[in-house]
Chain A
Amino acid sequence: MPPRLRGHPLADLHFGDDQPTEAEQAAIDAIVPQANAASIVETERIVRGGRSRRHGLRHLLLPVLHSLQHEIGWISPGGLNGAAERLGVPPAEAYGVATFYELLRTADPGHRDDVVHVCVDPACALAGNNELRTTLDADGARVHDSPCLGQCERAPALFVQGVGRPDRVPADDNEEFQLPQAGDPGLRVLRRVGVVDPTSLESYREHGGYEALATAIEMGPDAVIAVISDSGLSGRGGAAFPTGIKWRAVADEPGADKHVVANCDESEPGTFKDRILCEQDPFAVIESMTIAGLATGASHGWIYIRGEYPRATARLESAIAQARASGLLGDDVAGSGQRFDIELRRGAGAYICGEETALFNSIEGFRGEPRNKPPFPTTHGLFSQPTAVNNPETLINALDIVIDGPDTYRSLGTERSPGTRLFCLSGRIGVPGLYEVPFGTPLGDLLDLAGGPVGSLAAVLLGGAAGVFVGPDSLDMPLTLEDTREASATLGSGVVTVFDDTVDMEAVVVRIAEFFRDESCGQCVPCRVGTQRQHEVLVELQGSDKPLTKQRSELIDDMALAMVDASICGLGHTAASAVRSALSLGLIGNSQ
C-alpha cells in the first residue's frame, strides 16, 4: 500500500485513522488506479494535485462507492477514507453521497451475504410480495424492502445485490423473453424487441440497425434536428418536452464540450419500459444517442441506468464496446469526422436521480439533489455544460423519424400527440407487459389489448406514483397528452396499473405517500416536510374507522398546493397528485 499523505495538521482533506483493507483498496484501485489519484506523489519533494485535478476525478465517486459496496457489502469508514483520499473528495461529502443511495450501506450489516431486495410497491403487493418475503425469510435470506424494481410485468419482483459476486435478477435466468405484441406489424419502437439478438451488433445491423446513423450523417445536423422538430416528437419521461427544441437549443451552444445523456433511471413505480428496451435493443439506444450527439455537436454521451438493472447494464456495456470496436463510437464516428463516445453510470437506488438535474449531480459525484431551474440543462447541464437529456423511448423514436421522415411518424397518433406510445401494464390485468399503441388509443382498448382487467375494475393508476387514479368511467379517455391533461390526469412515463375492487386502496395510497417520503431528497422544505406530514395524515386515516375530517382534508390540500407551488422539482410537484385523486374518486377517506 502506498504511504498515506498526511499533512500537518491537515486542516482540510482530513482523514480519520481508519484505512481501507486490502480488499477495499483493490476495489478502489479497480476504478481509480493510484496513477490517476487526486494527488500524485511524484517524488518525496514533488506532489502534484490541486483543486482542478480533484474536480476532474469527482465523477468517479459513485462508481468507487459501488465498487466498495460490492466488494464487502457496505461502505466502511476505512473504505470511505480510501475512496475519498484517492479522489481528493472531503470524506464528509463522500459520506453525504454514500448515505443518499438506497443500494449503498454505511452501517456494517454484520455479514457478507447477498442482499435480496423485495419490491413493496403496488403491482408487487397485488402479486403476493408478502408471501414471497415470508418464504425468503424462512430460507434465511437477507431480505430488504425495496421500492419498485422495474419488473412489474413479472411481479412480485426480486433483485439480488451481490457481495463479492455479480448482482442478479433471478427472473432473468429462467425467462425466455416474450413481447405480448410479438409479431404485430404496427410496432415501431418495439419493432426489434424480442426479435433482434441484443448481444450482437451484426444482428442489429441485419434488422436495419445503423441505417439511421448513416442517413443522419448524410443529412447533416441541421436537417436531422429539423425532421425531429417537424415530427412533433416529445419526451416520454413525463414532461413531454418537444425533443427538436431541446436538441436545437443544445446545438446552438458553442463548443464541443456538450453532452447527450440517456436517462435510463426509470424508477417510477410501475415503469419497466427502459429496462426492456435496454435489455432487448441496446444498440438502438446507442445509435440514437449517437445521432443526438452528432446533431447537437456534443462529443460526450452518458448512459445513467438504474442500479437494479444488471442485465440491461451488461448488454449496454457490451453494445458500447462493440460499437466502439466498429468505429461507431470514438474519435471519428462512422467516418463522420466527429467525436462521440459513451460512458455508462449506474444509479444506486434513488428515484430522484431520474430528475434530470439530480441525475447530473449524481454523475458528477454529488448528492442527487435537483438543481433549481433556470438555468436549464440545454445551457447548464452536466458539468454545467450544454446537455440534451432524453430517455430511451424518446431516443429510439428518432431512428425511424430520421429514416422515414416526419410525415410517417405523424401518420399515427393525433395532431398534438403524434406517433406511438409505450405503456407498462401491471396489476390486475390479463397479460401484464410492455405495449406500444398509437397515441389516442382509448384507455379501455389498451386494457383489452392486454387481456382486459382481472376482476371488477375499481381504478387505474396512470403515470405511476407521480400520476393520478382514474375510475372505470375513464375507459373511453383517449390516451393523448391533451386529453389526459384535460381530464386532470397524465400519461407520465406510461404507467398503467390496474386495481380491482378487492384491493385495499388505503394501503396502496399510504404506500404511495410512503414512497414519496422515502424518496424525497430532503433538500427543499415543502417536499422534505410535506411528504412526511402527508404520509402521517394518511397513516392516521388508515388506522381510523372514521371518514376524513374537513380539517384533515384541508390540510392535505394545503400541503399539496405548497408542494406543487414551492418545491424545487417534479418530485415535490407530483407527490400529492395520486393521493388527491384517490380522495376525489372516493377510493379512500370514506371508511365507515
Chain B
Amino acid sequence: MSGAITETAVTIRVDGQEVAVPEGATILDACDAAGVETPTICYGPTLTPVNVCRLCVVELDGSRALVPSCSRPAEEGMVVHTDSERVRHSRKMVLEFLTTGVDVSQADELGQWAEHYGADPSRYVPGGETMDEPVRVQDNLYIRDYDKCVLCYRCVEACGDDAQHTYAISVAGRGFGARISAEFDVTLPESACVYCGNCVAVCPTNALQFKTEFDLRQADDWRPEDQTVTQTVCSYCGVGCNLELHVQDNQIVKCTSPDDHDVTSGNLCIKGRFGWNYV
C-alpha cells in the first residue's frame, strides 16, 4: 500500500483531533498519526489488508455500519470516532468471539485487548463449537496448531500474493468450519510448501510456531524474558537479507527479519529462516 502514498496531504478528524496524512494512507495510519492505539489482528504492515477480523473498526460519520480502519483510505474531511459506544461494543464482541473456541493463550496482545474492552467469553453457551484441531507436527522446522488459529488470513497472504507466491495453503471450507489447509489437508512436505516460514513470521496467535519454540514450550522452557534479539545478515546467498536472531541460553531459538527492511520486508527463505543450526 505504501507505494500509493504520495505527498498530497489529507486531513481527517480522529476523536476530535485533526490529523494530516498522505493521500493513500488509511484511517488506521491516521489513528497511528494521532497517537490513537488501534487493536488489530489480521492487519500486518507488510500485507495487503484483508479486513476480516473487524477488530480495528471505527465509526465514520455518514457510514451506516462501522468501517475497518486498516483498509479504508482516509478521505478529506472524514470524521472518525474510535472510542464510541458502538466501536467499543463491536471490538469487545469480536474479542469475545475470538476467545470462544480458539486457544489464544499465546496471543499476548489479543489477551491485553480483551481485558481492555471487557470481553467476557464465559457468557456463551457451554460446550459450544471450538476449532478442535490436533497439533500438526509434520517436520522439524515448524508446527501448525490450528486450535490457536483465528483465521486472520495472514499466513495465506504471506504464502501467496503478498510475498512468496507459493500458495501452498488456502482457506478451505466455509463458515465456522473454515480452516487453513493445503489441498485435501495433505501434510506440508507433500504440499507445495517451500518452508520459507513467512507464514510463521506473520502469525499473530502462535498457531504457527518454530519447532524449536514448540519443543521448548513442551519442555516448559520457553523464556522470552531471557531472550535477546540481534540483527545481522544471512550467511547464504548474496541478496543480503537481514535476520533477527532470537537467542536463549546462547542458542538460536528462532529467526525473523525486520518488516521495514527494504530487501526482505520481513520475508526469508528456508535457508535464512531455518538454516542456522550449524552455529
Contact = CB atoms under 8 A, between A and B. Distances in A.
The reply to whether A and B meet directly (CB within 8 Å) is yes
Interface of A: 10-14, 16, 77, 80-81, 84, 90-96, 99-100, 106, 350, 367, 372, 374, 517-526, 528-533, 536-537, 539-540, 551, 555, 558-559, 561-562, 564-568, 573
Interface of B: 51-55, 57, 65-66, 68, 71-72, 86, 89-90, 93-94, 97-98, 100-101, 123-125, 128-129, 150-151, 160, 165-178, 181-184, 186, 190-192, 194
17 contacts: A13-B192, A16-B183, A16-B190, A94-B183, A520-B175, A522-B177, A523-B52, A524-B54, A525-B97, A526-B94, A528-B176, A529-B98, A532-B101, A540-B125, A561-B90, A566-B54, A573-B65
Given A92-B167, A558-B89, A558-B93, A372 B175 contact: no
A81 B166 CA distance: 15
A77 B57 CA distance: 40
Given A99-B172, A99-B173, 5 more contacts: A90-B192, A525-B151, A533-B97, A561-B93, A566-B93
B166 to A, nearest CB: 5
A26 B80 CA distance: 56
B125 A522 contact: no
A451 B42 CA distance: 53
Nearest to A350: B174
Given A12-B192, A530-B97, A555 B123 contact: yes
A203 B242 CA distance: 72
A531 B191 contact: no
Nearest to A375: B73
A525 B150 CA distance: 8
Contacts of B71: 372
B89 A562 contact: yes
Nearest to B182: A92
B65 A565 contact: yes
A531 B97 CA distance: 10
B52 A16 contact: no
A568 B54 contact: yes
Contacts of B57: 565-566
Q: Specify the main secondary structure of chain B where it touches its partner.
A: loop
Contacts of B176: 517, 520, 522, 528-529, 531-532
Contacts of B101: 529, 532
B3 to A, nearest CB: 17
Contacts of B93: 526, 530, 558-559, 561-562, 566
Contacts of A517: 175-176
> Which of A11, A16, A92, A528 is packed against the most chain B CB atoms within 10 Å?
A92
Nearest to A95: B183
B175 A12 contact: no
Task: Identify the 4 closest CB pairs spanning chains A and B, nearest first.
Answer: A96-B170, A90-B167, A522-B178, A562-B93
Q: Which of B66, B129, B175, B190 has the most CB of A within 10 A?
A: B175
Contacts of A559: 93
A518 B174 CA distance: 8
Contacts of A77: 183-184
B53 A524 contact: yes
Given A566-B66, A567-B54, A520 B89 contact: no
A12 B54 contact: no
B97 A564 contact: no
Contact of B172 (A96, A521, A533, A540): A96
A529 B100 contact: yes
Contact of A533 (B94, B100, B169, B184): B100
A95 B192 contact: no
Contacts of A532: 101, 128-129, 175-176
Nearest to B102: A529
A562 B94 contact: yes
B42 to A, nearest CB: 9
A89 to B, nearest CB: 8
Given A521-B175, A561-B89, A533 B166 contact: no
Contact of B192 (A14, A524, A533, A573): A14
A92 B168 contact: yes
A565 B66 contact: yes
Contact of A565 (B86, B178, B181, B186): B86
Contacts of B150: 525
B128 A536 contact: yes
Nearest to B53: A525
Contacts of A13: 192
Contacts of B190: 16
A525 B176 CA distance: 9
Contacts of B86: 561, 565
A374 B65 CA distance: 12
Nearest to B190: A16
A85 to B, nearest CB: 12
A62 to B, nearest CB: 15
Contact of B174 (A80, A100, A374): A100
A12 B172 contact: no
Contact of B151 (A91, A518, A522): A522
B88 to A, nearest CB: 11
Contacts of A106: 184
Nearest to A76: B184
A559 B95 CA distance: 12
B123 A551 contact: yes
A93 B161 CA distance: 12
Contacts of B172: 92, 95-96, 99
Nearest to A75: B184
A358 to B, nearest CB: 11
Given A92-B182, A532-B128, A555-B123, A12 B171 contact: no
Contact of B168 (A90, A520, A551): A90
Contacts of B192: 10-14, 90-92
A528 B151 contact: yes
Contacts of A529: 97-98, 100-101, 176
Contacts of B72: 372, 374
B97 A99 contact: no
Contacts of B128: 532-533, 536
A367 B160 CA distance: 15
A566 B129 contact: no
Contacts of A533: 97, 100, 124-125, 128
Most buried by A among B55, B94, B170: B170
A524 B174 CA distance: 11
Contact of B175 (A80, A91, A518, A555): A518
A157 to B, nearest CB: 22
A100 B72 CA distance: 27
Q: Kindly name the residue among B53, B93, B94 whose own CB sees the greatest number of chain A CB atoms within 10 A.
A: B93
A568 B125 contact: no
A558 B93 CA distance: 7
Nearest to B129: A532
A525 B52 contact: yes
A532 B31 CA distance: 32
Contacts of B51: 372, 524, 568
A74 to B, nearest CB: 11
Given A11-B194, A565-B90, A95 B167 contact: no
A523 B53 CA distance: 8
A5 to B, nearest CB: 14
